[in-house]
Amino acid sequence: MIKVFKEVASLDKKCYEHYHLSEDLLMEHAAMGLKNALPTESKKILIIAGNGNNGADGIALARMIEPCHDSEVYLPFGAKSEMAILQVKRAKSVGVRFVESIGEGYDIIVDCLFGSGLNRALDEESKKIIHTANALQAFKLSCDIPSGIDISGSVFSVAFEADKTVTMGARKEALYSDEAKDFVGEIVCAKLGVETAYYEDESHTGFVLQKSDMKLPHRIKKNTHKGHFGHLCVIAGKKQGAAVMAANAALAFGAGLVTVVENEPYVIPPELMSSSSRPSSCTAVCIGMGLGNNYDDEYLSHFLLHHDKPMLIDADLFYEPIMIEVLKKKNIVLTPHPKEFTALLKQTGIADISTDVLQKNRFFYIREFCKKYPHVVLLLKGANTLIMLGDQLYIQPYGTNLLSKGGSGDVLGGLIASLLAQGYTPCDAALTGSLAHAFSAQNFTKNSYALTPHDLIDGVKCL
């Protein structure tokens, strides 16, 4: 896991006060971070620099790569900060060229216009600059945060479309908003004169997950039988295929037994069991996907409230009033998509908002929900999946547009529920299930539009 922060000004301040590093020295390391991120075949480079310290990072970069690269600096608003003025003097002393407009023929565009300090709407001139830069056919590199994205991760009508973003010192939460996903590209972190362990403090913001955080349910013991690996009960509803998909995913991900509970006769795959009631040997319950209105309140109450088994809850159930009682239980994982989460927020009295408002404030509302229900694991689906328990937030950044297809969420539910049945804690099940789901999609080698839920299930077998 990698720590993530809302802001790093306090961490920079620690460098000045505790490690006796100057602002100038941190800027030199920031510029070196940008230099190291340039493609090795760099030819003609344009650095678009703002009038503050983000721009100063870019001007310092220009000095560092002169005369090894054919580079130019575009300084549309002049230099205003003390460091920007100093860096202009230094750059000019080694012959860095400053241009009056954005031309063509560049191989690389470096965005140092605003960075993480943006706290206002863009003016028309800034919008025009960003639009012009985006239109150029070149590799695009951003300093800290792509210009046009504010500290909360919201996009001000337009933002620089980076292929790579070099974030300075530590990773910022804003880089992982769903809105930012199409603008940040690959995210790398530049060190600012001290090792990460010295630069960072304890994070009260959260963590970005890595592949190494995925703890697959490998079977180690040899003297075992199917009962050792849990018995998942999946409740089928109006759209029976959703439950079968979740059940197949659960079986592929290690559950020893999977039973589909149904109140109508269905034809299900032979490797799955079926029943009209919850089996006594059940170790976890998976309910919600494709449920519809097949069950009355009494039946739902039986499956949701009158047992102490871990539960994965998804989809249609988030619209049901019984959720208020369900949220009092422990050992539950909720996996809503944004529209379902807005329904849950309304039911719980936290907020009555549109999906658009939620998407612009995902970090805020997931924290509000988990503040009220600190014992519940909430997984909010999105371009970057957010998982939270209590005050601990985890960002799973490996989502891909391949997953934008019906049934993907059912597979995710089945993977997490399978781990619950095998004895994982709700939080660990959500983390590993989400990562496995994402990397199964990442490993898909056919056309981006072709991924199906069955491909996802096949993919988790090969992780």
DSSP helix/strand/coil, 249: helix
Which of 98, 150, 158, 100 lies closest to 126, judged by CA?
A: 158
CATH number of the structural domain spanning residue 148:
3.40.50.10260
CA 351 from centre of chain? 23
In the DSSP assignment, the letter for residue 40 is: T
In a 13 Å sphere around the CA of 313, the CA atoms on its Cβ side amount to 29
Q: Mean pLDDT over residues 102-125, rounded?
A: 89
Work out the pLDDT band at 294, boundaries 50, 70, 90.
low
Whole-angstrom CA distances from 248 to 238, 245, 420, 423 are 18, 5, 15, 19
CATH number of the structural domain spanning residue 255:
3.40.1190.20
Helices (H), 263-309: 297-304
Please say if the pLDDT value at position 156 is more than 90: no
Range of the domain at 146: 2-203
**Are 274 and 423 members of one domain?**
yes
Q: Mean pLDDT over residues 339-363, rounded?
A: 97
**Are 223 and 190 members of one domain?**
no
DSSP helix/strand/coil, 234: strand
Question: Using one digit for the tens of pLDDT, what is the confidence trace for 171-185?
Answer: 999 999 999 999 999
**Are 217 and 187 members of one domain?**
no
Residue that finishes a domain, picked among 203, 234, 262 = 203
Is the separation of the CB atoms in 87 and 53 below 8 Å?
no
Question: Using one digit for the tens of pLDDT, what is the confidence trace for 395-442?
Answer: 999 999 999 999 999 999 999 999 999 999 999 999 999 999 999 999
DSSP helix/strand/coil, 207: strand
The total of structural domains in the chain comes to 2
Question: Using one digit for the tens of pLDDT, what is the confidence trace for 59-93?
Answer: 999 999 998 888 999 999 999 999 999 999 999 99
DSSP secondary structure, 299-359, as one string: HHHHHHTS----EEE-GGGGGSTTHHHHTTSSSEEE---HHHHHHHHHHTTS----HHHHH
Residue that finishes a domain, picked among 179, 203, 227 = 203
**Are 252 and 365 members of one domain?**
yes
**Are 112 and 242 members of one domain?**
no
In a 13 Å sphere around the CA of 327, the CA atoms on its Cβ side amount to 20
**Are 113 and 262 members of one domain?**
no
**Are 414 and 307 members of one domain?**
yes
**Are 185 and 223 members of one domain?**
no
Question: Using one digit for the tens of pLDDT, what is the confidence trace for 200-247?
Answer: 999 999 999 999 999 999 999 999 999 999 999 999 988 889 999 999
**Are 312 and 267 members of one domain?**
yes
Q: What is the mean pLDDT of the chain?
A: 94
One-letter amino acid of 404:
S
DSSP helix/strand/coil, 377: strand
Whole-angstrom CA distances from 164 to 1, 111, 238, 443 are 20, 10, 45, 21
Work out the pLDDT band at 57, boundaries 50, 70, 90.
very high
Which of 111, 158, 107, 163 lies closest to 137, judged by CA?
A: 107
Please say if the pLDDT value at position 443 is more than 70: yes
pLDDT in the model for residue 117? 63
Query: Residue 350 — φ and ψ, nearest 5°?
Result: -80, -45
Q: Kindly state the tokens that stand for 409.
A: 């969420």
Report d(CA 67, CA 144) in Å as an integer.
25
**Other CB atoms within 10 Å distance of the CB of residue 186:** 11
**Are 284 and 359 members of one domain?**
yes
Residue that finishes a domain, picked among 178, 203, 228 = 203
In the DSSP assignment, the letter for residue 149 is: B
**Are 364 and 422 members of one domain?**
yes
- Angle 428-268-307 from CA coordinates, rounded to 5°: 45
pLDDT in the model for residue 78? 95
Is the separation of the CB atoms in 232 and 439 below 8 Å?
no
Please say if the pLDDT value at position 6 is more than 90: yes
Report d(CA 394, CA 207) in Å as an integer.
5
**Are 291 and 430 members of one domain?**
yes
Give the residue carrying structure tokens 């539960």: 311
